[in-house]
Amino acid sequence: MRAWPDPTIAFGACPLTTSKTLDSPIEPNDQSPPRSLKETRTWRPLVLRLHFYAGILVAPFILVAAITGGLYAVAPTLESVVYHDYLHVNPSGKQHAVAEQVAVAERQRPDLTVAAVRPAPGPTDTTRVLFDDPSLPDSTRLAVFVNPYTATPIGDLPVYGSAGALPLRTWLDHLHRDLHLGEAGRAYSEIAASWLWVVTLGGLYLWFRRYRRRRRSVAPARFATLDRRSAGRERTLNWHGVVGLWISVVLLFLSATGLTWSALAGQHVTDLRAALGWQTPTINTTIGTTPAQISGHEGHDGGHHPGGPTPAVDASAIDSVLSVAREHGVTGAVEVTVPDRPGVAYTVTQTRQPWMFSPDAIAIDGATGTVTDTLPFSAWPLPAQLTTLAIALHMGILFGLANQIALLGVVVGLVSVIARGYLLWWRRRPTRGTAWALGRPPLRGGLRRVGPVAAAAVGVAAVAIGWFVPWLGIPLAGFLAVDMIAAAWQRFRHAKQTLAADTPSRPN
């Protein structure tokens, strides 16, 4: 009887096979009873088959998300180069008052209402005066860039979200999130985020199991280091597994944070955070009895949704408001939100910047300079703090250029893992017969090998996780349906062939 090649798998996209491996070969036609019940209780066949189908069918989504995400990660650096003339000036003398700069911008766009101001954070930076523009998409405002030394406008550009993304970064943001296909396109990135952690954990399990079995043999075992002496299939496998291991923690992080921005699972995350009291707190901007609050919104967009023209509020108090904010420790790069009606306080909030770990906020009555509320980052619930920092890390902002280079390195590693996975799958195909043959999937029956109790637990967990993360549950149900149909068809063909072989032929 010919031994079935063992589909040993490392990490990421696909299984592989070899005629002789250190793992025990699997013989599909061997009907001999197992030597012991304990030997049959193993998770490997189930994980292997799920890992195989997830890798083969979902890897294209992950690959596209990785490439577009890598571009978005380096977008802050790209936009600082592309829009250098908008963002930077040569220092020359003393800066004008911020209120004067706002007045200059208002004369530039008298048809719009000032919503916020980002004073120049450094001596070579420009000031951004942000206008609500009903003609722009949601979460987008028009920024007039002003030279703080000459109080002259440099130009205007639309900016997106709380990160103040300029057009290039905005374009890359939408490319990563929905491929510029709108809400329908968001399914692709949600599929990638939903399955990335499954593929990663499955790969870690299989790679560790392979290492343990090799370590018991006479062959050298490598777990976290590359074997540069290997060649051929073994070299591909080694690089596939080790690189996957190196980037696995970051992949799990990217998957978790990516789900918070998704449409379906993201809503479940938001509901869960609300139920547990883990939401980002709001700062009270009420003066007197006027209800008004401003809250932070985490994600690629800043949650700024202009509601149309509002009565103009005199922004002449902005310099005194900034002075009060500095006295209370709200310094550095800040955004000053201008009240849209009387009875509402100014808010000064520290913006997302590299190495900024505590974005504090303060609300100030512009007429009296009285502090109406403060919201230090230290007062946030710990989950909200961690979420904010994780999002900045995911976006390539938290640690500046080092953050962006690290994310780009992970993207390169992930692309190489996927490419080597497909190469291993391609080499698994039959070498005789049709030229269109594909690599064989791992054998069925993995669920039976884990035992009835564990199998029931797997079913319950799959339903629960599939409900919470719909774009994990929907494809998983599809995989199971296709697999069951294929199994039924194979049983039918086998029964038909058996019947034909057992039926004696009639004499002529």
Q: Report whether 388 contacts 303 (CB < 8 A).
A: no
Q: Output the pLDDT for position 114.
A: 95
Q: With 70 as the cut, is the pLDDT of residue 292 above it?
A: no
Q: With 70 as the cut, is the pLDDT of residue 506 above it?
A: no
Lowest mean pLDDT among 63-77, 232-246, 396-410: 232-246
Residues 343 and 366: their CA atoms lie apart, in Å, by: 10
**Percent of all residues in the chain with a pLDDT value above 90, rounded to a whole number:** 59
Q: Report whether 32 contacts 19 (CB < 8 A).
A: no
Q: Output the pLDDT for position 53.
A: 82
Q: Output the pLDDT for position 507.
A: 57
- The number of residues in the chain equals 508
Both structure tokens of 90: 């040569």
Bridging pattern class, strands 140-147 and 361-364: unpaired
* 369-385 mean pLDDT: 95
The dihedral through the CA atoms of 268, 269, 271, 275 has a sign that is positive
Task: Judge if pTM exceeds 0.85.
Answer: no
* 281-297 mean pLDDT: 69
Q: Output the pLDDT for position 76.
A: 94
Residues 467 and 477: their CA atoms lie apart, in Å, by: 11
Please choose, from the candidates 326, 328, 346, 324, the residue with its C-alpha nearest in 3D space to the C-alpha of residue 337.
346
Q: What distance lies between CA 73 and its chain's CA centroid?
A: 11
Contacts of 250 (CB under 8 A, 6+ apart): 406, 407, 410
Q: Output the pLDDT for position 430.
A: 58
Q: With 70 as the cut, is the pLDDT of residue 11 above it?
A: no
* 210-235 mean pLDDT: 80
**Percent of all residues in the chain with a pLDDT value above 70, rounded to a whole number:** 81
Lowest mean pLDDT among 98-102, 130-134, 232-236, 255-259: 232-236
Q: Output the pLDDT for position 25.
A: 33
Please choose, from the candidates 292, 308, 261, 289, the residue with its C-alpha nearest in 3D space to the C-alpha of residue 363.
292
- DSSP per residue, 219-276: S---SSS--TT--HHHHHHHHHHHHHHHHHHHHHHHHHHHHHTSSHHHHHHHHHHHHH
pLDDT bracket for residue 129 (50, 70, 90): very high
Both structure tokens of 441: 């999937």
* 160-168 mean pLDDT: 94
Q: With 80 as the cut, is the pLDDT of residue 373 above it?
A: yes
- DSSP per residue, 106-172: HHH-TTSEEEEEE--SSTTBPEEEEEE-TTSPTTEEEEEEEETTTTEEEEEEEEETTTTB-HHHHHH
Q: Report whether 507 contacts 85 (CB < 8 A).
A: no
Residue with tokens 């989504």: 61
pLDDT bracket for residue 449 (50, 70, 90): confident
Residue with tokens 């101001």: 117
Q: Output the pLDDT for position 212.
A: 86
* 326-345 mean pLDDT: 93
Q: Report whether 341 contacts 313 (CB < 8 A).
A: yes
Q: Output the pLDDT for position 27.
A: 34
Q: Report whether 220 contacts 234 (CB < 8 A).
A: no
* 56-69 mean pLDDT: 94
Q: With 80 as the cut, is the pLDDT of residue 216 above it?
A: no
Lowest mean pLDDT among 109-123, 259-273, 313-327: 313-327
Both structure tokens of 172: 């890359």
Q: DSSP state, 333?
A: S
Bridging pattern class, strands 361-364 and 346-350: antiparallel
Residues 150 and 31: their CA atoms lie apart, in Å, by: 87
Q: With 60 as the cut, is the pLDDT of residue 379 above it?
A: yes
Q: Output the pLDDT for position 189.
A: 95
Q: With 50 as the cut, is the pLDDT of residue 341 above it?
A: yes
End-to-end CA distance of the chain: 36
Residues 71 and 82: their CA atoms lie apart, in Å, by: 14
pLDDT bracket for residue 433 (50, 70, 90): low
Helix, strand, coil tally for the chain in percent (to 5): 50, 10, 40
pLDDT bracket for residue 20 (50, 70, 90): very low
Question: What residues does each domain of the chain span?
Answer: 37-70+184-263+417-502, 84-165+280-380
Please choose, from the candidates 174, 203, 176, 172, the residue with its C-alpha nearest in 3D space to the C-alpha of residue 192.
176
pLDDT bracket for residue 14 (50, 70, 90): very low
Mean pLDDT of the chain: 84
Q: With 50 as the cut, is the pLDDT of residue 24 above it?
A: no
Q: Output the pLDDT for position 34.
A: 47
